[in-house]
Structure 1
Amino acid sequence: MNPETGEQHVGENDIAVVGLACRMPGAANHEEFWELLRNGRNSVSRQDDGTWRAALEDHGAFDAEFFGMTAAQAAATDPQQRLVLELGWEALEHAGIVPGRLRGTRTGVYVGIASDDYATLAARRTGDAGGYSAAGRHRAMAANRLSYLLGLRGPSMAVDTAQSSSLVAVHLACESLRRGESDLAVVGGVNLILADDSTTVMDLMGALSPDGRCHTFDARANGYVRGEGGVAVVLKPLHRALADGDRVHCVVKGGAVNNDGGGPSLTTPDRAAQEAVLREAYDRAGVRPGRVRFVELHGTGTRAGDPVEAAALGAVLGTARAATGAGTPLAVGSAKTNVGHLEGAAGLVGFLKAALTVREGEIPATLNHETPHPDIPLDALNLHVPTAPEPWIEPAGQRRLAGVSSFGMGGTNAHLVLEEAPAEAAAEVAAVAEGRRAALPVVPVVVSGRTAEGLRDQAAQLSARVEHGPELDLLDVAWTLADARTVFGHRAVVLAGDRDELLTRLERSAVHGVAGSFGRRVLVFPGQGTQWVGMGAELLGSSPVFAGRLRECADALAPFVDFDVVEVLREGRSLERVDVVQPVTWAVMVSLAEVWRSLGVV
């Protein structure tokens, strides 16, 4: 670190975030999540049972065949495990990594998961238990199933520290990468609310907001709202990411995990422990606390928790920032005001928000904040809760720095330090992209799926992304689909010269609606080297279709050769002469194709 500017250099302990995926109410991917945050939207709604929740629409939707599972296996498997498979695959593809190429590698899988509602429900239906039930209900399988699917040999574990589970999982993955135990890591966090019991238990504890809003650091703080969904990220050492030309979304500089260890009660947060985890995190990261501009809070909006968190932040970061003479206080916020509290997955939700905030250079608003909590003196703590989006501009030569906090109900605290990606990362990506440019009149765009239906779905997603998403370079799209995506058996190649032509040709080829449009039968005949004396002679005598087409071929060749193709086959002449075997083999191929066509094979 430059002691004058506080600028961070690429270090051997820096971890790059190279892949992102999420599924949350109102946000099917990380781009939609960022738009939800920027636009100040709230995805919490009242459910049919009268409770408030940020709920996913369909827990049951799952393409079992795609992930190599039978319908019976999928039905016996916790939907949280299935969500990890989907998000892990999506995050790897977003990182430009073909999942199938990771087989046998030291890729670790770490999953934060703190609930098992599915196991609770399944236990009530003992008659439904079967051979797949044990693995389907066991929490550890949330990580192990992804490792099995992709043949990964790195560490594979589910992490449960209650509400801090997924941020602790990120910390463990980073430490594994720093030790060289893993070369790559997929980290996920999931939370699905499948049984009413779990909501009832949290309500009896007094943790839930009766008005369906999370009022972080606000005088109205009265609890949190439960949320569903999941997040996955792909991590690798920064020096490797730069060498590989990866797009780096942000960098994990360091972090720390501790426990309250004997605070006021098992479930009451402890200020001293939170201060300690903050100091240790910034010390390990080699970052001066006063340089931090934004912290994504745990921020549940509870009367006991918010004042403790605010006091700890003020003592370690707020006052340190004031001492540097920074003109702005430490900005703090919580995505729980947008998507609810995803409990075991909440740490990764906060991590994703902080990563996008650092990358985009804009601090989103925190919703439901009007009057500061009476026990949180924001000015004295040098803290600020943005109620509208704020630009984030650092002095020249300094990268944006943010923190992420997550605290478990049992006192396990985690804090990670994130930094803007170094300029060389963006430059490397731009150089790689420029190297792909070519003066091509058209480019081949490959779309594929395990099934015809899967192919149509992929084509529909591509069409929607090209038509409604941000402007995309056609060559980049084609390169990514051909080189950084798994190419399955059902596939289509659409040739296009620009965006409009791609959309038109997708539609014209009926990719979306005709199952047989792609993945159709193709007759493939090899060339010279497959011939033998007497080939075709039996068909010549038994198949009028073969004989008729062969005669047409012989007549077409007659002006150019000194032999008759039909006679060569009928007499069983030697096919060693190149000038004989090439046209004869061609004629046999064409005639065989006509035979298959006559039998309905097209």
Structure 2
Amino acid sequence: MSKWTTGPQQPVAVVGMSCRVPGAATPDELWTLLCDEVDATGETPPDRYDVDAVYSEEPAPGKLVSRRAGYLTDMTAFDAKFFGMSTSEAAELDPQQRLLMMTAWEALEDAGQPPDQLAGSRTGVFVGNGRADFLESVFRQGLDAVTAGQFNNVRSVIPARLSHYFDLRGPSMLVDTACSSSLVAVHQAVLSLRAGECPFALAAGVNLTLRPDEGVLMSQVGTLSADGRSKFGDAAADGHAPSDAVVVVALKPLAAAVADGDRIRAVIAGSAVGNDGHTSDTILNPSLEGQLDILRWAYEDAGVKPSEVDFIEAHGSGSPQLDPLELTALAQVLGEGRSPDRRLLVGSVKSNVGHAEAAGGLVGLVKTVLSLEHAQVPASLHADTPRRDLDWDELPIEIPDKLRDLPDIDRPLLAGVSGQGASALNAHVVLRQADPVSGRQPTGLSRMLRHFPGRAQQPAEDDGAQYLLVLSARSPEALEALRLAYLEYLGPDGPGGEHTARDICYSAATRRQHLEHRLVVMGGTHEELVTALEDPDTPAANPALAVIANRFRNGQRVNWDVVFGDECRYVPLPTYRWQTRGYWPGRAEDEAAADAELTDQILHQHARTEFQSESRLADIGIDSLAKLKLMVELQKKTGLDVDPEKLDKVHTVGELRQWTRELEAAARHE
């Protein structure tokens, strides 16, 4: 990692990001959801709690006024084997930690930062979180249910989980300032980077709603939306819809990111946090003065004139109390000196996915980075009737009701992201568009193609030389899924068409951690790489590259800088393909037992002797005929075609049980 310049106002680069929010499992999916004006909130699923038992149309003790919120579709999904966890360990771990681990890995891959190269470094981890629903559910079962293993689910362990797994030695802290938590985590990371305390940082937010408790409390206070929708700026706004979210951004001093050839997705120019103090009547009531302070401090820190800001991602919760104060504060600070024909665009991602509470600020930051990359601002939903307590004709503000292009001007676009907590702690982060040399600069063509997603991108020009494309994964199944992902990525309509074959191969070789199961192919163009990936057993025609390919397959060290030279650039690639199963206390063991039962039933019919997990199939009499019958039974149960070649590679009872589980997991995802 390069040396970097520190200082109180040094900019920080966003070099990677990942997310899981209702309706979207990646930032690209989130952008599509936003542009398509999708409301991803929905009915409370039964795996959370029995909403029928606690719902009431009117506020009442112990009751919720809403049946809807924003939910991840499968919060139990986790690739335990990837992270070296047993079934029981994964089942007993808070899903907030499990999802955060996978999302952090994805953010590092998006940043082109191999995790093993961070091991032992002073990398910082800053996580915004406000819930411990999983642990509280254990406590509710009675004190006899509490075991020593529950120490793993104490909230302070959440950032430590990342630091321990990745061996990160820098600051590692949980931030809880209620709904501003994750933006405060970003602010803390920025300060740590500027001070030289850490050279690289992960800022995250995680929020999973597993219990109705806080919803009942918000129903009593009057801050929960009855229809489960956040209607920022609308006359009908009646509170917010809580939502799940897991978000991670990878941050680095801008000077170091430029020197290291990173892809810079956006630049954090400045930030500020501050409490309302005694400027409001009570500790829970929002304060206009407090919001004015924080906006002025943030733009002073960024060295940016507020009147130049192009759009704001508001806290935007849909609160009848908070919305008019926030809009008034933005109008006063960012409206001063603003041209009358250039109204400030102000929106809220909460109108699409709900309010992710402690993680909500980072969801807004990801949306803002995407907006800067595309030079567009999506519509803010459910803002049909402007609030009557604001004079919209006088406010230099507009809530976009459709996808809006940002102005094509001779400077980088500027944006701000706000977060406000019930703790009276406000946060604001100032972002600017990445420089076109180091980041992704939007073009008129890319804007047009957004409306015609079926059209192919203009392919990058290849140089005709041959290169090695290397892929790796923790398991053969994940490697196969990654091979298919690269086929799509490199195909005629894939995003790889924007990049040269050389840069793609260079990025895969130098910007990914190389795992146990490996595949390597050779090609000089996208078409050649696709052909090679379709038949990866074809030997490399170039003898020199064939030697390097064999070294990679055998797990030997390869000096990729010598192979590729120093004129390649990092480009985004497909991220890891997780092989997930559902993990929940009691459930995972039941599934494993059921899977083993299916296998054992068939084995008992054909085995000549008793067997254990480590028993070899051949030793217990499982011949080709028995395998054929096993294949038929598995096809009948799962509805999937069973590959006899893969079955032939299974040699022990334990491997057969595991293969059966993976086959059934694949069936569940079909």
Give the TM interval when normalised to the shorter protein: 0.7 to 0.9
Query: Secondary structure, in 3 states, of the residue corresponding to 1:493?
Result: strand
Task: Show the counterpart of 1:408.
Answer: 421
Of the candidates 488, 499, 515, which is equivalent to residue 515 of structure 2? Answer: 488
Task: Give deviations 1:42-61, integer Å, cap 9, x for gaps.
Answer: 11112343621221111111
2:120 is aligned with 1:104 = yes
Deviation at 1:302, TM superposition (A): 1.2
Task: Give deviations 1:504-529, integer Å, cap 9, x for gaps.
Answer: 55444599xxxxxx99xx999xxxxx
Task: Show the counterpart of 1:593.
Answer: none
Task: Check whether the contact 2:114–2:512 (CA below 8 A) recurs between aligned residues.
Answer: yes
Task: Show the counterpart of 2:14.
Answer: 17
Task: Show the counterpart of 1:257.
Answer: 273
Query: Secondary structure, in 3 states, of the residue corresponding to 1:67?
Result: coil
Change (3 A) 1:278 1:510: same
Task: Give deviations 1:285-329, integer Å, cap 9, x for gaps.
Answer: 1111111110100011111110111111111112x1xx2425211
**How far apart, CA to CA, are the structure 1 residues paired with 2:396 and 2:288?**
17
2:468 is aligned with 1:444 = yes
Task: Show the counterpart of 1:60.
Answer: 76
**How far apart, CA to CA, are the structure 2 residues paired with 1:115 and 1:178?**
29
| 1:242-321 alignment runs, 5 A limit | 242-262=258-278, 263-318=280-335, 320=336
Query: Secondary structure, in 3 states, of the residue corresponding to 1:379?
Result: coil
- Count matched residues: 497
Query: Secondary structure, in 3 states, of the residue corresponding to 1:69?
Result: coil
**How far apart, CA to CA, are the structure 1 residues paired with 2:256 and 2:309?**
26
Task: Show the counterpart of 2:356.
Answer: 342
**How far apart, CA to CA, are the structure 2 residues paired with 1:309 and 1:249?**
27
Task: Check whether the contact 1:117–1:198 (CA below 8 A) recurs between aligned residues.
Answer: no
Task: Show the counterpart of 2:478.
Answer: 454
Of the candidates 131, 142, 145, which is equivalent to residue 161 of structure 2? Answer: 145
Query: Secondary structure, in 3 states, of the residue corresponding to 1:481?
Result: helix
Q: One-letter code of the match for 1:42?
A: D
2:206 is aligned with 1:182 = no
Q: After superposing the two structures, state which structure 1 stretch, 258-267 or 180-189, moved more.
A: 258-267
2:30 is aligned with 1:33 = yes
Q: One-letter code of the match for 2:438?
A: A
Deviation at 1:465, TM superposition (A): 3.8
Query: Secondary structure, in 3 states, of the residue corresponding to 1:303?
Result: coil
Q: One-letter code of the match for 1:493?
A: V
Query: Secondary structure, in 3 states, of the residue corresponding to 1:381?
Result: coil
**How far apart, CA to CA, are the structure 1 residues paired with 2:468 and 2:182?**
40
- The gaps in structure 1 that reach 5 residues or longer are 1-9, 429-434, 512-517, 525-599
Task: Check whether the contact 1:12–1:239 (CA below 8 A) recurs between aligned residues.
Answer: no
Task: Give deviations 1:43-98, integer Å, cap 9, x for gaps.
Answer: 11123436212211111111122123232322221111112211111111111110
Task: Check whether the contact 2:274–2:426 (CA below 8 A) recurs between aligned residues.
Answer: yes
**How far apart, CA to CA, are the structure 1 residues paired with 2:486 and 2:22?**
22
**How far apart, CA to CA, are the structure 2 residues paired with 1:154 and 1:75?**
29
Task: Show the counterpart of 2:135.
Answer: 119
Q: One-letter code of the match for 1:219?
A: A
Task: Check whether the contact 1:108–1:156 (CA below 8 A) recurs between aligned residues.
Answer: yes
Task: Show the counterpart of 1:221.
Answer: 237
Task: Check whether the contact 1:188–1:232 (CA below 8 A) recurs between aligned residues.
Answer: yes
Task: Show the counterpart of 1:573.
Answer: none
Task: Show the counterpart of 1:479.
Answer: 506
Of the candidates 350, 366, 369, which is equivalent to residue 352 of structure 1? Answer: 366
Query: Secondary structure, in 3 states, of the residue corresponding to 1:380?
Result: coil
TM-score (norm 1): 0.78
Task: Check whether the contact 2:273–2:425 (CA below 8 A) recurs between aligned residues.
Answer: yes
Query: Secondary structure, in 3 states, of the residue corresponding to 1:425?
Result: coil
**How far apart, CA to CA, are the structure 2 residues paired with 1:392 and 1:36?**
19
Deviation at 1:167, TM superposition (A): 0.3
Q: One-letter code of the match for 1:470?
A: P
**How far apart, CA to CA, are the structure 2 residues paired with 1:231 and 1:359?**
18
**How far apart, CA to CA, are the structure 2 residues paired with 1:213 and 1:189?**
21
Deviation at 1:265, TM superposition (A): 2.1
| 1:377-456 alignment runs, 5 A limit | 377-396=391-410, 398-426=411-439, 438-440=463-465, 442-456=466-480
Task: Check whether the contact 1:242–1:424 (CA below 8 A) recurs between aligned residues.
Answer: no
Q: One-letter code of the match for 1:290?
A: S
Task: Show the counterpart of 1:463.
Answer: 487
Task: Show the counterpart of 1:364.
Answer: 378
Of the candidates 143, 149, 156, which is equivalent to residue 172 of structure 2? Answer: 156
**How far apart, CA to CA, are the structure 2 residues paired with 1:388 and 1:498?**
39
Q: One-letter code of the match for 1:479?
A: Y
**How far apart, CA to CA, are the structure 1 residues paired with 2:473 and 2:92?**
25
Task: Check whether the contact 1:445–1:495 (CA below 8 A) recurs between aligned residues.
Answer: yes
Structure showing greater radius of gyration is: 1
2:102 is aligned with 1:90 = no
Task: Give deviations 1:232-258, integer Å, cap 9, x for gaps.
Answer: 111111111111111111111111111
Query: Secondary structure, in 3 states, of the residue corresponding to 2:358?
Result: helix
Query: Secondary structure, in 3 states, of the residue corresponding to 1:446?
Result: strand
Change (3 A) 1:491 1:127: farther
Q: After superposing the two structures, state which structure 1 stretch, 259-268 or 32-41, moved more.
A: 259-268
Identity %: 40
Q: One-letter code of the match for 1:240?
A: A
Change (3 A) 1:469 1:338: farther
Change (3 A) 1:498 1:453: same
- The gaps in structure 2 that reach 5 residues or longer are 1-6, 46-50, 53-66, 442-459, 539-548, 556-650, 652-670
Change (3 A) 1:314 1:100: same
Deviation at 1:453, TM superposition (A): 2.4
Task: Check whether the contact 1:404–1:415 (CA below 8 A) recurs between aligned residues.
Answer: yes
Query: Secondary structure, in 3 states, of the residue corresponding to 2:232?
Result: coil
| 1:185-204 alignment runs, 5 A limit | 185-204=201-220
Query: Secondary structure, in 3 states, of the residue corresponding to 1:378?
Result: coil
Task: Check whether the contact 1:84–1:143 (CA below 8 A) recurs between aligned residues.
Answer: no
Change (3 A) 1:39 1:22: same
TM-score (norm 2): 0.70
Task: Check whether the contact 2:343–2:397 (CA below 8 A) recurs between aligned residues.
Answer: yes
Change (3 A) 1:103 1:172: same
Task: Check whether the contact 1:358–1:419 (CA below 8 A) recurs between aligned residues.
Answer: yes
Deviation at 1:426, TM superposition (A): 4.1
Change (3 A) 1:163 1:490: same
Task: Check whether the contact 2:265–2:439 (CA below 8 A) recurs between aligned residues.
Answer: no
Change (3 A) 1:357 1:36: same
Query: Secondary structure, in 3 states, of the residue corresponding to 2:479?
Result: helix
